[in-house]
Amino acid sequence: ETGVTQSPTHLIKTRGQQVTLRCSSQSGHNTVSWYQQALGQGPQFIFQYYREEENGRGNFPPRFSGLQFPNYSSELNVNALELDDSALYLCASSLETATYEQYFGPGTRLTVT
């Protein structure tokens, strides 16, 4: 059984640029959630995708968008990057939306300069 993987591991971008982060779900999981974890803080929910549709969203602006593909892998896109977007971005997969156990990937560390 393959766990949740994320790419890239680290990324450095300039303010105003756009970035795409990728996540592969654990085998058999059809739900993916994305979180932003700023340094010294707990993860904050960005959104969730279930069967290729957005299924819940946290308090993040529209420049944070996502996709889920038929194989349940997912992308997080952030446009017009700001310095405050620097954080660890975590992807978590689960089997169905009502499952309470989420399996997290190792994260992508994004630095915006």
Partner 1 sequence: AQSVAQPEDQVNVAEGNPLTVKCTYSVSGNPYLFWYVQYPNRGLQFLLKYITGDNLVKGSYGFEAEFNKSQTSFHLKKPSALVSDSALYFCAVRDAENNDMRFGAGTRLTVKP
- Shortest gap between Cβ of 86 and partner 1 (angstroms)? 17
- Shortest gap between Cβ of 62 and partner 1 (angstroms)? 16
Please report whether residue 101 would count as binding partner 1 according to CB under 8 A: yes
Query: What DSSP string describes 50-67?
Result: ETTEEEEE-S--TTEEEE
- Shortest gap between Cβ of 101 and partner 1 (angstroms)? 5
* Interatomic CA distance for residues 55 and 59, integer angstroms: 14
* Interatomic CA distance for residues 83 and 3, integer angstroms: 31
* Interatomic CA distance for residues 62 and 109, integer angstroms: 21
Specify the amino acid at residue 24: S
Output 15 or 51, the one with its CB closest to partner 1. Answer: 51
Identify residues 53-72 at the interface with partner 1 (CB under 8 A).
Answer: 55-58
Q: How far is CA 23 from CA 9, 16, 109, in A?
A: 11, 23, 13
Output 28 or 80, the one with its CB closest to partner 1. Answer: 28
Binding footprint of partner 1, residue count (CB under 8 A) = 25
Please report whether residue 4 would count as binding partner 1 according to CB under 8 A: yes
Residues contributing to the site for partner 1 (CB under 8 A): 4, 33, 35, 40-45, 48, 55-58, 90, 92, 97, 100-107
